[in-house]
Structure 1
Amino acid sequence: MFLIAIRKMFSNKWMLICTLLGSIITVALLSSIPTYTQAIIQRMLVKELENSQQLTGKFPGGYQLNYEGYYVTSNKNSFKTFKSYDNEIKNVIAKSSGVPILTQAVYENAGTFTIDKTESTKKAVSANLCSLSELEEHITILNGKLPSKTAEDGIYEAILSEQAIQKLDLTLGNTYVFKDTTFDAKIKEYKIKVVGIFTYKTLDDPYWCMDIKEFESTIFINQDLMNNSVFGSGVKRLNSASWYFAYDYHQIKVKNIDHILSAFRNSDTWAIKHNLSFKRTLDDILKINQQKISRLEVTLVVLEIPILVILAFYSFMISMLKVDFESNEIAIIKSRGGSSLFVFCTYLIESSIIGIISIIIGPIIGLYFCRILGSSNGFLEFVQRGALPLQLSVSTYIYSIAAVLFISCTMLIPAFMASRTSIVLYKQKNARHKNIPFWKKYFVDVALVALAVYGLYGYKRQQSTLFKSGMDAADMVIDPLLFFISVLFIVGFGLLFLRVFPYIVQFAFWLGRKLWNPVFYASFIQVGRTSGWEQFTMIFIIMALSIGIFSSNSARTINKNMEDKVYYEVGADTVIEGHWTDNQPPPIPGMIGPDLRKRDQMYYYEPPYELYEGLEAAESVTKVFINNQGYAYMGGQLLKQVSIMGIIPNEFGKTAWFRNDLLPYHWYQYLNLMTDTNYAVLVSKAFKEEFGAKEGDQIDLKWGEAGSSISATIFAFIDYWPTLNPNRKVENVQTPYFVVANLDYIQKMNLVEPYQVWLKKKPGVTFNNLYKEINDKKIEIDSINDASQKVIINKNDPMLQGTNGALTLSFIATIIITILGFLIYWILSIKKRILQFGIFRAIGLTYREVIGMIVCEQLLITGSSIFAGIGLGNITSVIFVPLFQMVYSSEQQVPPFKVISDANDYLRLYAIVAIMLVLCFLIIGRLIYKINISQALKLGED
């Protein structure tokens, strides 16, 4: 049986290759989802921890446990309790998470002692007498030496940090008396000799994950001396102890997060039970990333739905075509005594072999798919990024096995149905008219379209709620069907097109029935009376083009709207806050009450603006004054929280970033109004809608501590302006008010106040080039905000990377699958029609006319599918791409979401499809060329 299955597989090599490739691609695609998710989250997790360390200056892998022995237990047992805790923490608690430990330390504090300096002129100070394990490995002795492990004549040697020796006012080489003032102390005095002063080798060392500020009042003795002499001399008292662990967060694996968090919870339970306090920074970051993993997995699966649908069609088509092609052979086996089980088992062996090969090769190819996901910067756009930490996991093979089981089912179900057919039933079936396909008979296409329409209605309803309420999209319960409606729409209307396609062919045939030559006549008849298998090829092409166009527009829209949002929020390529000074005295730390030193008239010293104008990296620069705490007086009403922006219209138009579709007229026309009249202002529509303001009304503005003010005239109402968010909520103001005025007019009427410098970079200039030039020219700045840097950060977001990569990968996989499906159909179709070609030659058609007939069929089937796919893809994009805006709240939707399409994307798409078709035609042409059509009739009866 096994040998028969092997022979049957290799009897049709093209079918075997296409089936195997389709299975491998399916496994690779599905296995790439968990592999990529874990890899990108792994990189994101490490990056977030590194950023946390950079921003806070604290090592994020730190874990601290604190034991207050003096208050927990009686004095005589405190050291014994400490030793038992020390053993449990070091050997169990610290190792339970499985994360490697970079370094660890035990901090023992014998208590706070009063230092008797003996000199009457110096007052007594207090200090902690402590020990810290492995301290000598992480410090540098500036003066003196390390303390001894033994006490001589009752004198304990100690070292201090350079900060501590200054604060405690001690002297190197002197011996001091430390007095224990606690009522139950058996030893009241200790003699401590300062033998060394140290500094920290580097504060970046994870060893210093503890709070070292308290070491400014700490004197360190040797830890062995602390345990064996101080505690062992009858004191039996430990005031407190702390255990510090620095986990190597670079070694934390995403797949182990659940285990790590579980270990932390168990250790916290133990600590609480034994009255220990704890502090750890890893928990929150790990929990957040755990949520991101689930969200990213769902996103990738949702984005892969189109290709999964195509893979299902592909598997089903391959199986049905294969079984249909081999039905005659199956019927002959049955007629010669072969059992249904025998036939079924041969297909089971074949599917098992294909499945095993797919599981072996598929996940490896899936790793390369993950590299595509990680380097994708847009639709069919790739950039060089750091390699993802990719590795095969248990989840990878679970997904792979699920894919193989699905493919096997699609192969075995048609085989099982065919195994029950005898030679008599097979001949009777061929003699009858073909049955109506399941989806046509039960109107599956209509049902899918109805579901898509329902989903679209739900989307519109929730979108309306989102914008009216202003609530965050994360707070809304979004119907999962909304994520599938685009696929349902494509599949539904694709099938609907196939339902009406025969009528289109018949109508075209009827229009030219008196004009068609035999070639066209035979082509129309063949396509019009087809068995229906070409419909699989047609739905492949329709879905490939539709999904390609939809994926292209989706990726372009997501990326462009993200960039627009960043540039609108920043206002220009780069915004610089210069360093301004004023005439007011510096504040007194901790001062309460009014500062009587302040001068009545406040004014600022303007930094040299010429330095910005001289930047070679800048194409244009301009001054922009912004105050978001202004007041407006209009019609007897006082309005608070008014955003006031002062601009120089001509320079602002050259420098600022603004989308041209946001206002009724081009925004340059609004700038021209302000250029012609210096007291003209542009105001938000909130003034008009809520207070009935109109063009020509007078408005008085006031802002700032210096009491700056102007009187102006409203010239136009606007919805949007660079950096000004019309959806921003400010305290009780639902719709914010903003005013755009002439900066020259503002400065003419008032003293100069701090303004921003907006800059547009020359083409090809990077942020690093600009920043270097600013440093070289020694321009003092307080802050710099660069839009391109924010775009790069956003594009490195795993969710956006995954979206771009998944859309690109879906299209590439769709094209490959479509090529395979296209080839399989035409190879089998041509082999089954060899006898028909021979008949055409026998009745007088030339070889060229037979080839022309096949070309004509291709135009009818493939050409119509291409046009249908292009049209359906564009319609789907217009209707469903706006769905992506629901991931933002209404306040974040500035500027408004816009569907973007790029001609270059279409050119790339059409070029790939054209290459696909040419490649397929060349293969089919070579196959036809090798067939001796003139001898086809010698094959005998079909």
Structure 2
Amino acid sequence: MALFVMIIRKMVQNKWLVASLFIGLVMSVALVSSMPIYSEAVLSRMLVKDLETMQADRNVYPGSQYNKLFFTKETPEQMNRIFTKVDNYIHNQGSAGFQIPVQELVTDFQSKSMKIRPKNDPDPNTKKSVKTMTLRSFSGLEEHIKLTDGRMPAELQPVDGVYEVLVTERALIQFKTVIDSEFIVDDEKIAGEIKFKPVGVFEKKQDDDPYFRDTDLSELSSSFVISDEIAKQHLLQESRIPVASVGWFFVLDYSKLELRFVDDFIQTTNKIRNVMLNDVTMYQVVSETPALETIAKYLERADQLRTLMWSLNVPVLIMLGFYMFMVSNLIADRQKNEIAVLRSRGAARWQVVTSYAVEGIILCGIACGIGPLLGVVLTELLGASNGFLEFVQRVRLPVRLTAEAYRYGAIASCICFVIMLVPIIMATRVTIVGYKQQLARLLKSPLWHKMFLDVIALALAIYGLYTFRKRLADLQSLGLNATDLNIDPLQFVVPALFIMGAGLLLLRLYPWILRLVYWIGKKWWPPSVYATLIQVGRSSSQYQFLMIFLIMTIATGVFSASAARTINNNTEDRIRYGNGAEIVLKSQWVNDAPPPPPPGAPAAETTPLTPSVIHYLEPAFDPFKTVAGVESAAKVFTKDVSFSVNDGNGAATLMGIDTDEFGETTWFRDSLLDYPINDYLNLLASDSQAVLISRTLAEQKKAKAGDTIWVGWSDVPQQPFKVYGIIDYFPTFNPNPAVGSVDVSEDESVANAPMLIVGHLPRIQVQLALEPYDVWIKLKPEASTAEFYESLTESELPITSIVNTREELITAKNDPFLMALNGILTLGFVLSILVSFIGFLLYWVLSLRGRTLQNGILRAIGLSLKQLIGMLGVEQLLTSGVAVLIGIFVGNIASLLYVPNFQIAFNPSSLVPPFKVMFDSADLMRIYILVGFMLMIGLGILAYMLSRLRIHQAIKLGED
């Protein structure tokens, strides 16, 4: 207990150092524990988004899960036993196993098909009136339908021996009957007389009700629907009517599906299927879960996102580790005298280390309890990020404090505990004599300097960059996905190694630069600058830990800003380039093509009716220009064609354009070509026969400017055009081989690269054929999409499809993948700046207190407070200021070299235009303002401390 009290008193005496250390501990634990919290939250959001996309694209409710059991040769007793077993399991364990709300659980009975005829059949001796019917029942049906005619049937028993049933409008037409007409079973397989009477016609109460597997009720067009209770008794238990199958249809609330429930969802689906398979053969069971395919793709994206999240946090974690070590080292330095005295008086090393270990356990234990709670707050902050240091109002993420977060927090606390003890263990190795000797040796080289850690880190970083670029080139040239090659996640760690290695290398050179500056102006420097240069030059090792800390902080911030801006802008550029313009419209053209054949008609009957060439009538183009909000519009014709050039031939995409309108409408990044795209369009405009060809075509077919190229397609003879230019990129054109198009063993990457030919649309229409083209539209900057759509509707143009780039950009911004990336980079930078400010202030406050005697003597020999503050300012400039400049320089270099690594998180073959590192002056300005504010506040606090210095107190301190 006495030891515990002593430790508490020591912590109180060093409260500012302990508080700084504790802040670093809490932030480290919070950052690490926020990773599982945020990953689960954003992955849950991503899963729901993926399922919503699946519902919109395939018109299938993702929360459905259907299991169907077919009966073939089972006896009634066996069918009852199997049904009871499976039904009990599904209603009890199955419903609870999914871990998400079950909105509906529909039990579906279906009889074997049977032949029926009207009771009052006028010609009972023929088969004219005989129809084939199946009997169906659905539990809870009455809550989801509305009657359009008639009444609901009896629920418990037949009425006067007649089964009352419901039918759909289609079934009423199919059976050529009206309600209250009786039917009798006319089937040799069914014994006894069975009668049915449709008493009501129904339809869905809500069109989008997920209760119905068959969205348009077409499956019921040849069925009678009886009550669920009668079906159980007469189809299953009494077997009066032969049952064919029983189905269980789950309607689950997929919006509540989170990452933690995915395994339960998959396992429950498999368990239900296995329970059914235990009693029947595999061919008698059907299990349909539409969400499983989407979940499988989602799990792949989830792994990519986890890897990316950890990789992005590595620089911040290393920076926090530096901070922890720096503060712990400061504490050890302040208490080295006390530790040396204890050692010289007989205390064992383990006793000294134990006393500090208890202090570390107390701090780490509290941080482990508080950190995950702060991690939840950080996660909420991340969910609102819309870009680097940009926040918007958005639907909150499903944030949940998990046991995994505390487990991560505990691991982080243990690592921090070890980092805290390292300086103490090193300090206990020194006796009182050794400690006094160390005080006299201020020029001792740091450990990293002796071990050449800077050179090693740079070598590893450069090697990692080389291997990454080689693998990326393979991915793009071979048309592979990022998962097709084994990409080492450590590729994302090398930026931190580069930042650390480059910073340490520059610090190795910095003392020599200082000596050069001192030597150049030693005859002219004023006393304050002269003293500062000597102080910093002779004690450079004292400042280097602070400087490398600031370098890593600033460089990490610059790298984070560049990475966020690059990924966001490249994502936007990829969408704009892929679409070509803000709006792309397809319209209906009048033509002489025959109408499509009726369903089920033999193809041979319709083939002679199809003309060899379809003739089109071009609609008016001017109405597109008059739609509200349109700034410019262009005609763009694309067609897969065949070509021949220089005794070679092949297939390419032909694009026909009007050069002036196209240049005014399209979006294109100028840096993609050797000259601006308008120069190429002007070159094309000089001759109606001129075409531009892609470099892939030029390389594969050895074509060059001046060659004649013949172009045509099926039923259209090839016509000559002249090559005027070669282009690498053009709006919508992807020169990379399509995924899966290259046989790696044969190295056919060049032969499979897509090819493009760009020519004049009027020439193509006259010389080749007139066929439908797309309309590309550029909207005015102030025009809204809603205004454009409203005007487009009023114009009554025959539009068949619309591609809206603005909407796709908004969708991309809300993509959980980008959301996570922006949030992590923003959080990393904010934490870097906060930790940097605390570390900077703490270091200089302690340094200033340690030099109280020196500053007092300087004041006593005549230096004014203004000169003393000037000395401090120069010292700050030569240390912190230089560290900030080096950090900005290293961060920019690291961004140029390593930000392209992030494209591996996407599909490199589809990244067109190529990934380009981007810097935004606004982002850099935010960094500079925050860092400048930090330095100014710190300098102000230090100046205030100097102004409070009393000369007589400093001199008396020296006498003591």
State if a TM-score over 0.5 links the two structures.
Answer: yes
Aligned equivalent of 1:489: 498
Match of 2:38 among 36, 39, 42: 36
Match of 1:623 among 635, 648, 671: 635
| Counterpart AA for 2:276 | A
Match of 1:188 among 182, 188, 192: 192
Range that drifts further, 36-45 or 196-205: 196-205
- Relative to structure 1, the CA distance from residue 847 to residue 653 in structure 2 (aligned partners, 3 Å threshold; closer, same or farther) is same
Residue 95 of structure 1 aligns to a residue whose secondary structure is helix
Measured against aligned partners, the alpha-carbon deviations of 1:136-174 in whole angstroms (never above 9, x if no partner) come to 111112222222122243222222122222212232112
Measured against aligned partners, the alpha-carbon deviations of 1:50-74 in whole angstroms (never above 9, x if no partner) come to 2222333322211222222233x22
Residue 42 of structure 1 aligns to a residue whose secondary structure is helix
Match of 1:264 among 247, 269, 290: 269
- Relative to structure 1, the CA distance from residue 432 to residue 534 in structure 2 (aligned partners, 3 Å threshold; closer, same or farther) is closer
Q: In the alignment, is residue 376 of structure 1 matched against residue 381 of structure 2? A: no
Q: In the alignment, is residue 795 of structure 1 matched against residue 799 of structure 2? A: no
Aligned equivalent of 1:286: 295
> Structure 1: 5+ residue runs without aligned partners?
none
Residue 533 of structure 1 aligns to a residue whose secondary structure is helix
Aligned mates of 2:265, 2:959 — CA distance in 1: 71
Aligned mates of 1:734, 1:203 — CA distance in 2: 47
1:38 CA displacement: 0.8
1:422 CA displacement: 5.3
Aligned mates of 1:615, 1:23 — CA distance in 2: 60
Residue 66 of structure 2 aligns to a residue whose secondary structure is strand
Aligned mates of 1:485, 1:710 — CA distance in 2: 54
Aligned equivalent of 1:693: 703
Aligned mates of 1:848, 1:153 — CA distance in 2: 112
Measured against aligned partners, the alpha-carbon deviations of 1:816-841 in whole angstroms (never above 9, x if no partner) come to 11111111111111111111222223
Is this contact kept in 1: 2:361–2:417, CA < 8 A?
A: yes
1:416 CA displacement: 4.0
Aligned equivalent of 1:716: 725
- Relative to structure 1, the CA distance from residue 573 to residue 270 in structure 2 (aligned partners, 3 Å threshold; closer, same or farther) is same
- Relative to structure 1, the CA distance from residue 751 to residue 460 in structure 2 (aligned partners, 3 Å threshold; closer, same or farther) is closer
Measured against aligned partners, the alpha-carbon deviations of 1:473-492 in whole angstroms (never above 9, x if no partner) come to 32111234422221111101
1:324 CA displacement: 0.8
Aligned mates of 2:84, 2:889 — CA distance in 1: 77
Is this contact kept in 1: 2:865–2:946, CA < 8 A?
A: no
Is this contact kept in 1: 2:465–2:494, CA < 8 A?
A: yes
Aligned mates of 2:236, 2:460 — CA distance in 1: 78
Is this contact kept in 1: 2:479–2:737, CA < 8 A?
A: no
Aligned equivalent of 1:861: 879
Is this contact kept in 1: 2:82–2:279, CA < 8 A?
A: no
Is this contact kept in 2: 1:70–1:238, CA < 8 A?
A: no
Aligned equivalent of 1:476: 485
Measured against aligned partners, the alpha-carbon deviations of 1:742-774 in whole angstroms (never above 9, x if no partner) come to 112223445532111111111133433322321
- Relative to structure 1, the CA distance from residue 891 to residue 339 in structure 2 (aligned partners, 3 Å threshold; closer, same or farther) is closer
Residue 696 of structure 1 aligns to a residue whose secondary structure is coil
| Counterpart AA for 1:504 | I
Aligned mates of 2:572, 2:529 — CA distance in 1: 52
Aligned mates of 1:394, 1:231 — CA distance in 2: 48
Range that drifts further, 356-365 or 806-815: 356-365
Aligned mates of 1:268, 1:226 — CA distance in 2: 23
Aligned equivalent of 2:75: 74
Aligned mates of 2:23, 2:450 — CA distance in 1: 32
Match of 2:153 among 147, 150, 154: 147
Match of 2:850 among 832, 852, 860: 832
Give % identity: 36
- Relative to structure 1, the CA distance from residue 299 to residue 219 in structure 2 (aligned partners, 3 Å threshold; closer, same or farther) is same
Residue 758 of structure 2 aligns to a residue whose secondary structure is strand
| Counterpart AA for 1:205 | D
- Relative to structure 1, the CA distance from residue 743 to residue 907 in structure 2 (aligned partners, 3 Å threshold; closer, same or farther) is same
Aligned equivalent of 2:257: 252
Aligned equivalent of 2:549: 540
> Structure 2: 5+ residue runs without aligned partners?
743-747
Task: List aligned pairs for 1:804-815, cutoff 5 A.
Answer: 804-815=822-833
Aligned equivalent of 1:773: 791
| Counterpart AA for 1:140 | K
| Counterpart AA for 1:323 | A
- Relative to structure 1, the CA distance from residue 511 to residue 188 in structure 2 (aligned partners, 3 Å threshold; closer, same or farther) is same
Aligned equivalent of 1:663: 673
Aligned equivalent of 1:610: 622
Aligned mates of 2:139, 2:330 — CA distance in 1: 74
1:419 CA displacement: 5.0
Aligned equivalent of 2:167: 160
Q: In the alignment, is residue 680 of structure 1 matched against residue 679 of structure 2? A: no
1:425 CA displacement: 4.8
Q: In the alignment, is residue 641 of structure 1 matched against residue 651 of structure 2? A: yes
Range that drifts further, 60-69 or 708-717: 708-717
Aligned equivalent of 1:386: 395
Is this contact kept in 1: 2:445–2:541, CA < 8 A?
A: no
1:82 CA displacement: 2.3
Aligned equivalent of 1:53: 55
Aligned mates of 1:169, 1:881 — CA distance in 2: 70
Aligned mates of 1:862, 1:177 — CA distance in 2: 96
Aligned equivalent of 1:449: 458
1:634 CA displacement: 3.4
Is this contact kept in 2: 1:546–1:874, CA < 8 A?
A: yes
Aligned mates of 2:701, 2:66 — CA distance in 1: 59
Range that drifts further, 147-156 or 298-307: 147-156
Q: In the alignment, is residue 520 of structure 1 matched against residue 536 of structure 2? A: no
Aligned mates of 2:239, 2:558 — CA distance in 1: 83
Measured against aligned partners, the alpha-carbon deviations of 1:522-557 in whole angstroms (never above 9, x if no partner) come to 212211222733212111221122222222222222
Aligned length: 935
Measured against aligned partners, the alpha-carbon deviations of 1:750-802 in whole angstroms (never above 9, x if no partner) come to 55321111111111334333223212322221111122222222232222222
Is this contact kept in 1: 2:54–2:294, CA < 8 A?
A: no
| Counterpart AA for 2:263 | D
Residue 642 of structure 2 aligns to a residue whose secondary structure is strand
Residue 506 of structure 1 aligns to a residue whose secondary structure is helix
Aligned mates of 2:728, 2:441 — CA distance in 1: 68
Aligned equivalent of 1:200: 204
Q: In the alignment, is residue 124 of structure 1 matched against residue 136 of structure 2? A: no
Is this contact kept in 2: 1:127–1:218, CA < 8 A?
A: yes
1:920 CA displacement: 1.2
Range that drifts further, 815-824 or 228-237: 228-237
1:279 CA displacement: 1.7
Measured against aligned partners, the alpha-carbon deviations of 1:9-31 in whole angstroms (never above 9, x if no partner) come to 23234323322222222122112
Question: If the length of structure 1 is used for normalisation, what is the TM-score?
Answer: 0.94
Aligned equivalent of 2:603: 592
Task: List aligned pairs for 1:871-886, cutoff 5 A.
Answer: 871-886=889-904
Aligned equivalent of 1:227: 232
Aligned mates of 1:740, 1:814 — CA distance in 2: 50
Is this contact kept in 1: 2:111–2:244, CA < 8 A?
A: yes
Range that drifts further, 742-751 or 254-263: 742-751
Aligned equivalent of 2:23: 21
- Relative to structure 1, the CA distance from residue 744 to residue 300 in structure 2 (aligned partners, 3 Å threshold; closer, same or farther) is same
Aligned equivalent of 2:745: none
Aligned equivalent of 1:845: 863
Aligned mates of 1:563, 1:55 — CA distance in 2: 22
Question: If the length of structure 2 is used for normalisation, what is the TM-score?
Answer: 0.92
| Counterpart AA for 1:804 | N
Residue 811 of structure 2 aligns to a residue whose secondary structure is helix
Aligned mates of 1:685, 1:253 — CA distance in 2: 47
Aligned mates of 1:35, 1:695 — CA distance in 2: 58
